[in-house]
Amino acid sequence: MRISKFTRTAIASAIWGGALVTVAMPAQANKDLDRLSKEDTNWVMQTKDYGSTHFSEMTQINSHNVKHLQPVWSFSTGVLNGHEGGPLVVDGIMYVHTPFPNNIFAIDLDDPGKILWEFKPKQNPAARAVACCDVVNRGLAYAPAGDGYPAMIFQNQLDGHIVALNAKTGELIWKMENSDIAMGSTLTVAPFVAKDKVIVGSSGAELGVRGYATAYNIKDGKQAWRVYATGPDEDIKLAKDFNSANPHYGQFGLGLKTWEGDAWKIGGGTNWGWYAFDPDLDMLYYGSGNPAPWNETMRPGDNKWTMTIWGRDVNTGEAKFGYQKTPHDEWDYAGVNYMGLSEQLVDGKMTKLLTHPDRNGLVYTLNRENGSLVNAFKIDDTVNWVKKVDLKTGLPIRDPEFSTHMDHEAKGICPSAMGYHNQGIESYDPNKKLFFMGTNHICMDWEPFMLPYRAGQFFVGATLNMYPGPKGTLGQVKAMNSVTGKFEWEIQEKFAVWGGTTATAGDLVFYGTLDGYIKALDSRNGKELWKFKLPSGVIGHPITFGHKDKQYVAIYYGVGGWPGVGLVFDLQDPTAGLGAVGAFKELAHYTQQGGGVMVFALGL
Protein backbone atom coordinates (compact mmCIF):
# COMPACT_ATOMS: atom_id res chain seq x y z
CA MET A 1 0.00 0.00 0.00
CA ARG A 2 1.25 3.49 -0.72
CA ILE A 3 0.91 6.68 1.27
CA SER A 4 -1.07 9.12 -0.84
CA LYS A 5 -1.66 12.17 1.28
CA PHE A 6 -0.03 13.64 4.36
CA THR A 7 -0.77 17.04 5.82
CA ARG A 8 0.16 18.42 9.19
CA THR A 9 -0.51 21.75 10.82
CA ALA A 10 2.25 23.67 12.54
CA ILE A 11 1.76 22.83 16.18
CA ALA A 12 5.28 23.21 17.54
CA SER A 13 4.02 25.74 20.07
CA ALA A 14 1.26 23.32 21.19
CA ILE A 15 -1.55 25.80 20.73
CA TRP A 16 -4.84 24.14 21.69
CA GLY A 17 -7.98 26.24 21.54
CA GLY A 18 -5.92 29.43 21.60
CA ALA A 19 -4.21 28.68 24.91
CA LEU A 20 -0.73 27.36 25.65
CA VAL A 21 -1.09 23.96 27.28
CA THR A 22 1.28 21.69 29.11
CA VAL A 23 2.00 18.67 26.95
CA ALA A 24 3.03 15.16 27.86
CA MET A 25 5.61 12.83 26.38
CA PRO A 26 4.20 10.10 24.10
CA ALA A 27 4.65 7.39 26.73
CA GLN A 28 2.68 9.56 29.13
CA ALA A 29 -0.15 9.94 26.62
CA ASN A 30 -0.92 6.26 27.10
CA LYS A 31 -1.13 6.76 30.86
CA ASP A 32 -3.31 9.84 30.41
CA LEU A 33 -5.74 7.91 28.22
CA ASP A 34 -5.72 5.01 30.66
CA ARG A 35 -6.52 7.42 33.49
CA LEU A 36 -9.35 9.07 31.55
CA SER A 37 -10.84 5.69 30.70
CA LYS A 38 -11.11 4.89 34.40
CA GLU A 39 -13.02 8.08 35.12
CA ASP A 40 -16.63 7.03 34.70
CA THR A 41 -17.68 10.55 33.78
CA ASN A 42 -15.87 9.84 30.48
CA TRP A 43 -16.18 7.23 27.74
CA VAL A 44 -12.93 7.73 25.84
CA MET A 45 -12.65 4.44 23.92
CA GLN A 46 -15.10 2.32 22.00
CA THR A 47 -14.17 -0.49 24.40
CA LYS A 48 -14.52 1.85 27.45
CA ASP A 49 -10.99 0.95 28.65
CA TYR A 50 -7.94 -1.04 27.61
CA GLY A 51 -9.40 -4.21 29.07
CA SER A 52 -12.60 -3.81 26.99
CA THR A 53 -14.72 -4.19 30.11
CA HIS A 54 -17.52 -1.92 28.86
CA PHE A 55 -18.29 -1.60 32.57
CA SER A 56 -19.04 1.49 34.67
CA GLU A 57 -18.86 1.78 38.44
CA MET A 58 -21.61 4.43 38.36
CA THR A 59 -24.68 3.55 40.42
CA GLN A 60 -26.89 6.63 40.23
CA ILE A 61 -28.96 4.68 37.69
CA ASN A 62 -29.52 1.24 39.17
CA SER A 63 -31.84 -1.75 39.19
CA HIS A 64 -34.22 -0.01 41.61
CA ASN A 65 -34.78 3.22 39.68
CA VAL A 66 -33.94 2.39 36.04
CA LYS A 67 -37.67 2.25 35.31
CA HIS A 68 -37.64 6.06 35.58
CA LEU A 69 -35.14 6.56 32.72
CA GLN A 70 -36.41 8.96 30.08
CA PRO A 71 -34.95 10.69 27.01
CA VAL A 72 -33.44 14.11 27.72
CA TRP A 73 -32.02 15.02 24.31
CA SER A 74 -31.31 13.56 20.91
CA PHE A 75 -29.29 14.35 17.81
CA SER A 76 -29.92 13.30 14.21
CA THR A 77 -26.82 12.60 12.15
CA GLY A 78 -28.62 13.04 8.83
CA VAL A 79 -27.22 9.71 7.58
CA LEU A 80 -29.41 6.67 6.98
CA ASN A 81 -27.06 3.67 6.83
CA GLY A 82 -26.17 1.44 9.77
CA HIS A 83 -24.72 3.17 12.85
CA GLU A 84 -22.30 0.79 14.56
CA GLY A 85 -20.05 1.59 17.51
CA GLY A 86 -20.93 4.36 19.94
CA PRO A 87 -20.17 8.01 20.69
CA LEU A 88 -17.18 9.09 22.77
CA VAL A 89 -17.43 11.45 25.76
CA VAL A 90 -14.30 13.32 26.86
CA ASP A 91 -14.38 16.04 29.52
CA GLY A 92 -17.86 17.32 28.70
CA ILE A 93 -17.75 16.91 24.91
CA MET A 94 -19.51 14.16 22.98
CA TYR A 95 -18.03 13.06 19.66
CA VAL A 96 -20.53 11.47 17.25
CA HIS A 97 -19.59 9.61 14.06
CA THR A 98 -21.59 8.28 11.12
CA PRO A 99 -21.30 5.56 8.51
CA PHE A 100 -20.24 6.69 5.02
CA PRO A 101 -19.70 9.57 4.32
CA ASN A 102 -18.11 9.33 7.80
CA ASN A 103 -19.11 12.72 9.19
CA ILE A 104 -18.06 13.70 12.73
CA PHE A 105 -19.87 16.06 15.12
CA ALA A 106 -18.61 17.51 18.41
CA ILE A 107 -21.35 18.43 20.90
CA ASP A 108 -20.89 20.40 24.13
CA LEU A 109 -22.81 18.61 26.89
CA ASP A 110 -23.51 21.99 28.53
CA ASP A 111 -25.47 22.98 25.43
CA PRO A 112 -26.29 19.81 23.44
CA GLY A 113 -28.58 21.70 21.10
CA LYS A 114 -25.55 23.30 19.44
CA ILE A 115 -22.84 21.66 17.31
CA LEU A 116 -19.35 22.78 18.40
CA TRP A 117 -17.74 21.66 15.15
CA GLU A 118 -18.30 19.18 12.36
CA PHE A 119 -15.99 17.38 9.96
CA LYS A 120 -17.34 16.19 6.63
CA PRO A 121 -14.60 14.40 4.69
CA LYS A 122 -14.37 14.30 0.94
CA GLN A 123 -13.73 10.73 -0.07
CA ASN A 124 -14.01 8.44 -3.07
CA PRO A 125 -17.65 7.30 -3.43
CA ALA A 126 -16.45 4.16 -5.22
CA ALA A 127 -15.71 2.75 -1.78
CA ARG A 128 -19.42 2.06 -1.36
CA ALA A 129 -19.34 -0.52 -4.15
CA VAL A 130 -16.66 -2.66 -2.50
CA ALA A 131 -17.95 -2.49 1.08
CA CYS A 132 -18.95 -5.97 2.13
CA CYS A 133 -21.99 -5.49 4.35
CA ASP A 134 -23.32 -1.92 4.36
CA VAL A 135 -21.09 1.16 4.66
CA VAL A 136 -20.70 1.01 8.44
CA ASN A 137 -18.02 2.54 10.64
CA ARG A 138 -17.29 1.23 14.15
CA GLY A 139 -16.26 4.47 15.75
CA LEU A 140 -13.72 7.09 16.65
CA ALA A 141 -10.62 7.02 18.86
CA TYR A 142 -9.22 9.73 21.12
CA ALA A 143 -5.68 10.60 22.23
CA PRO A 144 -4.81 13.19 24.89
CA ALA A 145 -2.34 15.96 24.07
CA GLY A 146 1.28 14.85 23.75
CA ASP A 147 4.72 16.18 22.90
CA GLY A 148 4.12 18.61 20.03
CA TYR A 149 0.50 17.76 19.27
CA PRO A 150 -2.93 18.63 20.71
CA ALA A 151 -5.60 16.21 21.85
CA MET A 152 -6.77 14.33 18.77
CA ILE A 153 -9.75 12.48 17.35
CA PHE A 154 -8.96 9.67 14.91
CA GLN A 155 -11.32 8.42 12.22
CA ASN A 156 -11.07 5.64 9.66
CA GLN A 157 -12.81 6.41 6.37
CA LEU A 158 -14.47 3.84 4.15
CA ASP A 159 -12.21 4.74 1.22
CA GLY A 160 -9.15 3.55 3.14
CA HIS A 161 -7.82 6.72 4.77
CA ILE A 162 -7.20 7.45 8.44
CA VAL A 163 -7.42 11.07 9.58
CA ALA A 164 -6.30 12.84 12.75
CA LEU A 165 -8.25 15.91 13.87
CA ASN A 166 -7.72 18.52 16.56
CA ALA A 167 -10.23 17.41 19.20
CA LYS A 168 -10.96 21.00 20.19
CA THR A 169 -11.48 22.52 16.73
CA GLY A 170 -11.99 19.67 14.24
CA GLU A 171 -9.04 20.92 12.18
CA LEU A 172 -7.30 18.25 10.05
CA ILE A 173 -3.81 17.53 11.40
CA TRP A 174 -2.74 14.60 9.21
CA LYS A 175 -4.18 12.10 6.76
CA MET A 176 -2.76 8.78 5.57
CA GLU A 177 -3.86 6.09 3.12
CA ASN A 178 -4.13 2.68 4.80
CA SER A 179 -6.13 0.67 2.25
CA ASP A 180 -6.53 0.55 -1.53
CA ILE A 181 -10.18 0.31 -2.58
CA ALA A 182 -9.11 -0.70 -6.09
CA MET A 183 -8.09 -4.01 -4.48
CA GLY A 184 -11.32 -4.16 -2.48
CA SER A 185 -9.72 -3.06 0.79
CA THR A 186 -11.88 -0.68 2.83
CA LEU A 187 -11.86 0.62 6.42
CA THR A 188 -14.75 -0.02 8.81
CA VAL A 189 -12.74 -0.76 11.98
CA ALA A 190 -12.46 1.75 14.82
CA PRO A 191 -8.90 3.03 15.39
CA PHE A 192 -7.29 2.03 18.70
CA VAL A 193 -4.82 4.22 20.61
CA ALA A 194 -2.08 2.60 22.69
CA LYS A 195 1.02 4.40 23.92
CA ASP A 196 2.21 6.75 21.15
CA LYS A 197 0.53 4.78 18.37
CA VAL A 198 -2.86 4.44 16.74
CA ILE A 199 -3.63 0.93 15.50
CA VAL A 200 -5.70 0.41 12.35
CA GLY A 201 -7.00 -2.87 10.90
CA SER A 202 -8.30 -3.73 7.44
CA SER A 203 -11.45 -5.01 5.73
CA GLY A 204 -12.16 -6.83 2.49
CA ALA A 205 -11.54 -10.57 2.96
CA GLU A 206 -14.69 -11.17 0.91
CA LEU A 207 -12.81 -9.60 -2.01
CA GLY A 208 -9.60 -11.57 -1.51
CA VAL A 209 -7.76 -8.86 0.44
CA ARG A 210 -4.70 -10.06 2.37
CA GLY A 211 -5.29 -8.85 5.91
CA TYR A 212 -2.96 -6.63 7.91
CA ALA A 213 -2.81 -4.38 10.96
CA THR A 214 -0.84 -1.13 11.00
CA ALA A 215 0.49 1.14 13.72
CA TYR A 216 0.86 4.86 12.98
CA ASN A 217 2.62 7.43 15.13
CA ILE A 218 0.05 9.64 16.82
CA LYS A 219 2.11 12.78 16.31
CA ASP A 220 2.64 12.75 12.54
CA GLY A 221 0.91 9.68 11.07
CA LYS A 222 4.12 7.97 9.97
CA GLN A 223 3.91 4.20 9.84
CA ALA A 224 5.58 2.53 12.82
CA TRP A 225 4.92 -1.09 11.80
CA ARG A 226 2.65 -3.26 9.68
CA VAL A 227 1.92 -6.96 10.22
CA TYR A 228 0.11 -9.42 7.96
CA ALA A 229 -1.96 -12.51 8.74
CA THR A 230 -0.54 -14.63 5.90
CA GLY A 231 2.76 -15.03 4.07
CA PRO A 232 6.41 -15.23 5.17
CA ASP A 233 7.32 -14.96 8.84
CA GLU A 234 9.00 -11.58 8.38
CA ASP A 235 5.70 -10.13 7.06
CA ILE A 236 3.74 -11.67 9.92
CA LYS A 237 6.45 -10.45 12.35
CA LEU A 238 6.89 -13.56 14.45
CA ALA A 239 9.09 -13.08 17.51
CA LYS A 240 12.04 -15.46 18.00
CA ASP A 241 10.16 -17.09 20.88
CA PHE A 242 6.80 -17.15 19.05
CA ASN A 243 4.46 -19.72 20.64
CA SER A 244 7.34 -21.05 22.75
CA ALA A 245 4.87 -21.83 25.55
CA ASN A 246 2.61 -23.70 23.10
CA PRO A 247 4.65 -25.04 20.18
CA HIS A 248 1.74 -27.34 19.27
CA TYR A 249 -0.11 -24.24 18.04
CA GLY A 250 2.50 -24.05 15.27
CA GLN A 251 5.49 -21.76 14.99
CA PHE A 252 7.49 -20.85 11.91
CA GLY A 253 6.99 -21.00 8.16
CA LEU A 254 3.31 -21.85 8.35
CA GLY A 255 2.06 -18.63 6.75
CA LEU A 256 3.35 -20.15 3.49
CA LYS A 257 3.34 -23.92 4.07
CA THR A 258 -0.35 -24.12 5.01
CA TRP A 259 -1.42 -22.57 1.70
CA GLU A 260 -1.27 -24.00 -1.79
CA GLY A 261 1.07 -22.01 -4.00
CA ASP A 262 0.53 -18.26 -3.80
CA ALA A 263 -3.04 -18.49 -2.47
CA TRP A 264 -1.90 -16.68 0.68
CA LYS A 265 -1.55 -13.48 -1.33
CA ILE A 266 -5.35 -13.29 -1.72
CA GLY A 267 -6.09 -15.28 1.41
CA GLY A 268 -8.09 -12.93 3.64
CA GLY A 269 -7.37 -12.71 7.35
CA THR A 270 -8.45 -9.07 7.63
CA ASN A 271 -9.11 -7.62 11.08
CA TRP A 272 -12.05 -5.21 11.29
CA GLY A 273 -13.01 -5.93 14.89
CA TRP A 274 -11.83 -4.91 18.30
CA TYR A 275 -8.53 -4.57 20.16
CA ALA A 276 -7.50 -4.82 23.79
CA PHE A 277 -4.23 -3.77 25.43
CA ASP A 278 -2.37 -4.69 28.62
CA PRO A 279 -0.16 -1.70 29.58
CA ASP A 280 1.78 -3.79 32.10
CA LEU A 281 2.78 -6.33 29.46
CA ASP A 282 2.86 -3.85 26.55
CA MET A 283 0.81 -6.41 24.63
CA LEU A 284 -1.90 -5.78 22.04
CA TYR A 285 -4.63 -8.35 21.39
CA TYR A 286 -6.89 -8.80 18.37
CA GLY A 287 -8.22 -11.46 16.01
CA SER A 288 -7.58 -12.09 12.32
CA GLY A 289 -10.56 -12.98 10.16
CA ASN A 290 -11.73 -15.56 7.68
CA PRO A 291 -9.67 -16.96 4.82
CA ALA A 292 -10.62 -16.20 1.22
CA PRO A 293 -12.50 -17.46 -0.63
CA TRP A 294 -15.29 -18.95 1.48
CA ASN A 295 -15.19 -22.07 -0.73
CA GLU A 296 -12.77 -24.28 1.23
CA THR A 297 -12.00 -26.53 -1.76
CA MET A 298 -10.09 -23.68 -3.39
CA ARG A 299 -7.56 -23.31 -0.53
CA PRO A 300 -6.29 -26.63 0.89
CA GLY A 301 -4.46 -26.53 4.22
CA ASP A 302 -4.88 -24.90 7.62
CA ASN A 303 -4.61 -21.41 6.05
CA LYS A 304 -2.55 -19.88 8.82
CA TRP A 305 -2.65 -17.35 10.27
CA THR A 306 -6.27 -16.52 9.51
CA MET A 307 -8.81 -17.12 12.32
CA THR A 308 -6.14 -16.40 14.94
CA ILE A 309 -6.02 -14.69 18.33
CA TRP A 310 -2.86 -12.59 18.35
CA GLY A 311 -0.79 -11.33 21.27
CA ARG A 312 1.72 -8.76 19.98
CA ASP A 313 4.27 -6.33 21.39
CA VAL A 314 2.67 -2.96 20.78
CA ASN A 315 6.05 -1.27 20.32
CA THR A 316 7.31 -3.47 17.49
CA GLY A 317 4.27 -5.42 16.31
CA GLU A 318 6.09 -8.71 16.96
CA ALA A 319 3.82 -11.65 17.73
CA LYS A 320 4.48 -13.35 21.05
CA PHE A 321 1.73 -15.89 20.42
CA GLY A 322 -0.92 -16.83 17.89
CA TYR A 323 -3.70 -19.34 18.51
CA GLN A 324 -5.70 -20.43 15.46
CA LYS A 325 -9.24 -21.30 16.55
CA THR A 326 -10.69 -22.65 13.29
CA PRO A 327 -7.97 -24.14 11.06
CA HIS A 328 -9.12 -24.33 7.45
CA ASP A 329 -12.33 -22.46 8.13
CA GLU A 330 -15.26 -23.71 6.03
CA TRP A 331 -18.03 -21.39 7.25
CA ASP A 332 -16.81 -17.73 7.25
CA TYR A 333 -16.35 -17.77 11.02
CA ALA A 334 -14.23 -14.59 10.94
CA GLY A 335 -12.44 -14.43 14.30
CA VAL A 336 -12.19 -10.66 14.73
CA ASN A 337 -14.63 -10.40 17.62
CA TYR A 338 -14.49 -8.92 21.09
CA MET A 339 -11.36 -9.38 23.25
CA GLY A 340 -12.11 -8.96 26.98
CA LEU A 341 -9.35 -8.82 29.60
CA SER A 342 -9.81 -9.92 33.20
CA GLU A 343 -7.84 -11.22 36.16
CA GLN A 344 -9.40 -14.30 37.71
CA LEU A 345 -8.47 -17.34 39.72
CA VAL A 346 -7.41 -20.33 37.63
CA ASP A 347 -6.43 -23.42 39.61
CA GLY A 348 -6.09 -21.25 42.70
CA LYS A 349 -3.77 -18.70 41.04
CA MET A 350 -4.73 -15.17 40.00
CA THR A 351 -4.18 -15.16 36.25
CA LYS A 352 -4.21 -12.53 33.51
CA LEU A 353 -6.88 -13.74 31.07
CA LEU A 354 -8.21 -12.92 27.63
CA THR A 355 -11.78 -13.97 26.78
CA HIS A 356 -13.04 -14.12 23.21
CA PRO A 357 -16.55 -15.16 22.09
CA ASP A 358 -15.97 -16.23 18.50
CA ARG A 359 -18.14 -16.28 15.41
CA ASN A 360 -17.68 -20.05 15.32
CA GLY A 361 -19.96 -20.38 18.36
CA LEU A 362 -17.23 -21.04 20.93
CA VAL A 363 -15.95 -18.94 23.83
CA TYR A 364 -12.18 -19.07 24.31
CA THR A 365 -10.33 -18.04 27.45
CA LEU A 366 -6.53 -17.79 27.21
CA ASN A 367 -3.70 -16.85 29.52
CA ARG A 368 -2.89 -13.53 27.89
CA GLU A 369 0.77 -13.63 28.92
CA ASN A 370 1.64 -16.68 26.81
CA GLY A 371 -1.52 -17.71 24.92
CA SER A 372 -2.14 -20.94 26.83
CA LEU A 373 -5.72 -22.17 26.47
CA VAL A 374 -7.60 -22.13 29.77
CA ASN A 375 -11.04 -23.08 28.52
CA ALA A 376 -13.13 -23.35 25.35
CA PHE A 377 -16.85 -24.03 25.40
CA LYS A 378 -19.96 -23.53 23.31
CA ILE A 379 -21.83 -20.22 23.40
CA ASP A 380 -25.02 -22.25 23.00
CA ASP A 381 -25.73 -25.96 23.16
CA THR A 382 -27.07 -25.84 19.58
CA VAL A 383 -23.59 -25.29 18.06
CA ASN A 384 -23.14 -28.37 15.87
CA TRP A 385 -20.20 -28.03 13.42
CA VAL A 386 -17.87 -28.85 16.33
CA LYS A 387 -18.24 -31.47 19.04
CA LYS A 388 -15.73 -29.90 21.43
CA VAL A 389 -12.28 -28.34 21.60
CA ASP A 390 -9.40 -30.54 22.70
CA LEU A 391 -7.91 -28.38 25.45
CA LYS A 392 -4.51 -30.10 25.17
CA THR A 393 -4.04 -29.49 21.44
CA GLY A 394 -6.35 -26.49 21.10
CA LEU A 395 -7.93 -28.11 18.03
CA PRO A 396 -11.67 -28.29 17.36
CA ILE A 397 -13.11 -31.78 17.00
CA ARG A 398 -15.33 -31.34 13.95
CA ASP A 399 -18.58 -33.07 13.07
CA PRO A 400 -18.11 -34.11 9.40
CA GLU A 401 -21.88 -33.98 8.81
CA PHE A 402 -21.62 -30.18 8.66
CA SER A 403 -18.62 -29.90 6.33
CA THR A 404 -19.11 -27.67 3.27
CA HIS A 405 -17.26 -29.54 0.52
CA MET A 406 -17.96 -29.12 -3.20
CA ASP A 407 -20.91 -30.80 -4.98
CA HIS A 408 -22.83 -30.88 -1.73
CA GLU A 409 -25.32 -28.58 0.01
CA ALA A 410 -24.67 -28.73 3.75
CA LYS A 411 -27.89 -28.33 5.75
CA GLY A 412 -28.62 -27.10 9.24
CA ILE A 413 -25.19 -25.69 10.14
CA CYS A 414 -25.21 -23.86 13.48
CA PRO A 415 -24.06 -21.14 13.72
CA SER A 416 -24.47 -19.45 10.35
CA ALA A 417 -21.71 -17.39 8.74
CA MET A 418 -22.94 -14.50 10.87
CA GLY A 419 -21.76 -16.49 13.85
CA TYR A 420 -23.37 -16.89 17.23
CA HIS A 421 -21.32 -13.78 18.02
CA ASN A 422 -20.36 -11.05 15.59
CA GLN A 423 -19.09 -7.46 15.90
CA GLY A 424 -20.72 -6.42 19.18
CA ILE A 425 -18.62 -5.22 22.13
CA GLU A 426 -19.52 -7.11 25.29
CA SER A 427 -19.14 -6.21 28.94
CA TYR A 428 -17.42 -7.69 31.99
CA ASP A 429 -18.48 -7.05 35.58
CA PRO A 430 -15.32 -7.55 37.69
CA ASN A 431 -17.40 -7.68 40.86
CA LYS A 432 -19.59 -10.54 39.67
CA LYS A 433 -16.84 -12.13 37.51
CA LEU A 434 -19.38 -12.37 34.69
CA PHE A 435 -19.36 -11.49 31.01
CA PHE A 436 -22.62 -10.31 29.43
CA MET A 437 -23.00 -11.18 25.74
CA GLY A 438 -25.46 -10.18 23.07
CA THR A 439 -25.54 -13.05 20.60
CA ASN A 440 -27.02 -14.27 17.35
CA HIS A 441 -29.00 -17.49 17.10
CA ILE A 442 -28.91 -18.14 13.35
CA CYS A 443 -28.25 -21.33 11.36
CA MET A 444 -27.73 -21.92 7.65
CA ASP A 445 -27.56 -24.10 4.57
CA TRP A 446 -24.36 -23.73 2.50
CA GLU A 447 -23.60 -24.62 -1.12
CA PRO A 448 -20.11 -23.80 -2.47
CA PHE A 449 -19.17 -23.01 -6.07
CA MET A 450 -15.95 -22.25 -7.94
CA LEU A 451 -15.02 -18.77 -9.11
CA PRO A 452 -11.93 -16.89 -10.33
CA TYR A 453 -10.17 -14.13 -8.40
CA ARG A 454 -10.49 -10.64 -9.87
CA ALA A 455 -9.01 -7.71 -7.97
CA GLY A 456 -11.64 -5.47 -6.42
CA GLN A 457 -14.49 -7.94 -6.98
CA PHE A 458 -16.26 -10.23 -4.53
CA PHE A 459 -14.41 -13.51 -4.03
CA VAL A 460 -16.75 -15.67 -1.96
CA GLY A 461 -17.78 -18.86 -3.73
CA ALA A 462 -20.78 -19.96 -1.67
CA THR A 463 -24.56 -19.52 -1.65
CA LEU A 464 -26.15 -19.28 1.79
CA ASN A 465 -29.64 -19.56 3.21
CA MET A 466 -30.00 -18.41 6.82
CA TYR A 467 -32.83 -18.86 9.32
CA PRO A 468 -33.56 -18.79 13.08
CA GLY A 469 -31.76 -21.37 15.21
CA PRO A 470 -33.39 -24.31 17.00
CA LYS A 471 -34.69 -22.15 19.85
CA GLY A 472 -36.88 -20.23 17.39
CA THR A 473 -35.42 -16.74 17.74
CA LEU A 474 -32.58 -14.86 16.05
CA GLY A 475 -30.91 -13.54 19.21
CA GLN A 476 -30.05 -14.04 22.86
CA VAL A 477 -28.44 -12.23 25.81
CA LYS A 478 -26.35 -14.37 28.16
CA ALA A 479 -24.37 -14.04 31.39
CA MET A 480 -21.37 -16.35 31.65
CA ASN A 481 -18.34 -17.22 33.73
CA SER A 482 -15.47 -17.49 31.27
CA VAL A 483 -13.31 -19.71 33.50
CA THR A 484 -15.88 -22.36 34.38
CA GLY A 485 -17.95 -22.08 31.21
CA LYS A 486 -21.12 -21.82 33.29
CA PHE A 487 -24.01 -19.63 32.08
CA GLU A 488 -25.84 -17.87 34.89
CA TRP A 489 -28.84 -16.89 32.78
CA GLU A 490 -29.99 -16.30 29.21
CA ILE A 491 -32.94 -14.58 27.57
CA GLN A 492 -34.24 -14.79 24.01
CA GLU A 493 -34.63 -11.88 21.57
CA LYS A 494 -36.67 -11.91 18.36
CA PHE A 495 -33.75 -10.49 16.37
CA ALA A 496 -29.97 -10.78 16.75
CA VAL A 497 -28.41 -8.63 19.50
CA TRP A 498 -25.85 -7.19 17.12
CA GLY A 499 -24.26 -4.25 18.94
CA GLY A 500 -23.26 -5.73 22.30
CA THR A 501 -23.81 -4.81 25.94
CA THR A 502 -22.75 -2.35 28.63
CA ALA A 503 -22.82 -3.28 32.33
CA THR A 504 -22.81 -1.12 35.45
CA ALA A 505 -22.26 -1.52 39.17
CA GLY A 506 -25.92 -0.64 39.54
CA ASP A 507 -26.71 -4.29 38.67
CA LEU A 508 -27.66 -3.35 35.12
CA VAL A 509 -26.95 -4.58 31.60
CA PHE A 510 -27.94 -2.24 28.74
CA TYR A 511 -28.21 -3.20 25.07
CA GLY A 512 -30.06 -2.27 21.90
CA THR A 513 -32.17 -4.41 19.60
CA LEU A 514 -32.48 -4.54 15.83
CA ASP A 515 -36.19 -3.74 16.05
CA GLY A 516 -35.38 -0.46 17.77
CA TYR A 517 -35.42 -0.84 21.56
CA ILE A 518 -32.87 0.06 24.17
CA LYS A 519 -33.32 -2.28 27.13
CA ALA A 520 -32.02 -2.66 30.68
CA LEU A 521 -31.79 -6.04 32.39
CA ASP A 522 -31.02 -6.93 35.99
CA SER A 523 -27.49 -8.31 35.66
CA ARG A 524 -28.12 -10.72 38.53
CA ASN A 525 -30.90 -12.67 36.84
CA GLY A 526 -31.61 -11.29 33.35
CA LYS A 527 -34.99 -9.83 34.29
CA GLU A 528 -36.08 -6.99 31.97
CA LEU A 529 -36.46 -3.78 34.00
CA TRP A 530 -36.92 -1.08 31.35
CA LYS A 531 -37.12 -0.51 27.60
CA PHE A 532 -37.66 2.42 25.26
CA LYS A 533 -38.56 2.43 21.56
CA LEU A 534 -36.05 4.31 19.42
CA PRO A 535 -36.68 5.85 15.98
CA SER A 536 -34.71 3.06 14.25
CA GLY A 537 -33.07 -0.27 15.00
CA VAL A 538 -29.79 -0.57 16.90
CA ILE A 539 -26.57 -2.18 15.69
CA GLY A 540 -24.23 -0.20 17.99
CA HIS A 541 -23.57 -0.30 21.72
CA PRO A 542 -24.78 1.84 24.64
CA ILE A 543 -22.48 3.99 26.75
CA THR A 544 -22.95 5.60 30.14
CA PHE A 545 -21.22 8.74 31.40
CA GLY A 546 -21.52 11.52 33.98
CA HIS A 547 -21.91 15.25 33.59
CA LYS A 548 -22.45 17.75 36.40
CA ASP A 549 -23.24 15.07 38.97
CA LYS A 550 -25.80 13.32 36.77
CA GLN A 551 -25.48 9.93 35.10
CA TYR A 552 -26.56 9.51 31.48
CA VAL A 553 -27.01 6.61 29.08
CA ALA A 554 -26.59 7.14 25.33
CA ILE A 555 -26.99 4.93 22.28
CA TYR A 556 -26.97 5.25 18.50
CA TYR A 557 -30.03 4.28 16.53
CA GLY A 558 -29.79 3.54 12.81
CA VAL A 559 -30.55 0.07 11.48
CA GLY A 560 -28.23 -1.43 8.87
CA GLY A 561 -25.02 -3.41 8.86
CA TRP A 562 -24.99 -7.02 7.74
CA PRO A 563 -28.33 -7.92 9.39
CA GLY A 564 -30.02 -4.84 7.92
CA VAL A 565 -28.51 -5.00 4.45
CA GLY A 566 -31.77 -6.19 2.88
CA LEU A 567 -33.73 -3.33 4.39
CA VAL A 568 -31.07 -0.73 3.54
CA PHE A 569 -30.70 -1.73 -0.12
CA ASP A 570 -34.24 -3.10 -0.64
CA LEU A 571 -33.09 -6.64 -1.46
CA GLN A 572 -35.58 -9.49 -1.85
CA ASP A 573 -33.58 -12.60 -2.81
CA PRO A 574 -33.16 -14.55 0.47
CA THR A 575 -29.59 -15.52 -0.50
CA ALA A 576 -28.62 -11.86 -1.13
CA GLY A 577 -26.48 -9.95 1.34
CA LEU A 578 -24.37 -13.10 1.77
CA GLY A 579 -27.47 -14.83 3.15
CA ALA A 580 -28.65 -12.12 5.55
CA VAL A 581 -31.75 -11.10 3.59
CA GLY A 582 -33.52 -14.39 4.25
CA ALA A 583 -32.63 -14.46 7.94
CA PHE A 584 -33.93 -10.94 8.57
CA LYS A 585 -36.84 -10.87 6.15
CA GLU A 586 -39.23 -9.67 8.89
CA LEU A 587 -37.06 -6.77 10.07
CA ALA A 588 -38.65 -4.20 7.73
CA HIS A 589 -42.00 -4.82 9.46
CA TYR A 590 -40.55 -3.57 12.77
CA THR A 591 -38.22 -0.68 11.96
CA GLN A 592 -36.95 1.60 9.19
CA GLN A 593 -33.80 3.63 8.56
CA GLY A 594 -32.80 6.79 10.39
CA GLY A 595 -29.55 7.67 12.18
CA GLY A 596 -28.87 9.52 15.40
CA VAL A 597 -28.05 9.36 19.09
CA MET A 598 -30.52 9.33 21.99
CA VAL A 599 -29.50 10.33 25.52
CA PHE A 600 -31.34 9.26 28.70
CA ALA A 601 -31.32 10.25 32.36
CA LEU A 602 -33.49 9.66 35.40
CA GLY A 603 -36.76 11.54 35.54
CA LEU A 604 -38.86 12.32 38.57
pLDDT in tens, 152-167: 999 999 999 999 999 9
Mean pLDDT along residues 125-132: 93
Question: Furthest-apart CA pair in the chain: how many Å?
Answer: 69
For residue range 284-311, list pLDDT tens digits in order.
999 999 999 999 999 999 999 999 999 9
**Is it the case that residue 248 has pLDDT exceeding 70?**
yes
Q: Does residue 332 have an active-site annotation?
A: yes
Is residue 392's pLDDT more than 60?
Answer: yes
What does the pLDDT read at residue 22?
A: 36
Name the β-bridge partners of 376.
364
Give me the mean pLDDT over the 73-88 stretch.
97
Q: Give the model's confidence band at 11: pLDDT under 50 very low, under 70 low, under 90 confident, else very high.
A: very low
* pLDDT recorded at residue 1: 32
The whole-number average pLDDT for the span 212-225 is 98
Look at residue 443 in the predicted model and tell me its pLDDT: 98
Asked if the model's pLDDT at residue 44 lies above 80, the reply is: yes
Q: What percent of the chain has pLDDT over 90?
A: 94
Is the predicted pLDDT of residue 4 greater than 80, yes or no?
no
The answer on pLDDT for 14 being more than 80 is no
- Label residue 78 by pLDDT band (50, 70, 90): very high
How does pLDDT run across 398-423, given as a tens digit for each residue? 999 999 999 999 999 999 999 999 99
Q: Output the pLDDT for position 603.
A: 87
Long-range contacts from 100-107, C-beta under 8 angstroms, 24+ separation: 100/127, 100/128, 100/131, 100/135, 100/137, 100/158, 102/137, 102/155, 102/156, 102/157, 102/158, 103/77, 103/78, 103/79, 104/140, 104/153, 104/155, 104/165, 104/170, 105/75, 105/77, 106/167, 106/170, 107/75
Can you give the pLDDT at residue 30? 80
| Residue tagged active-site, from 332, 358, 380, 429 | 332
Predicted pLDDT of residue 240: 98
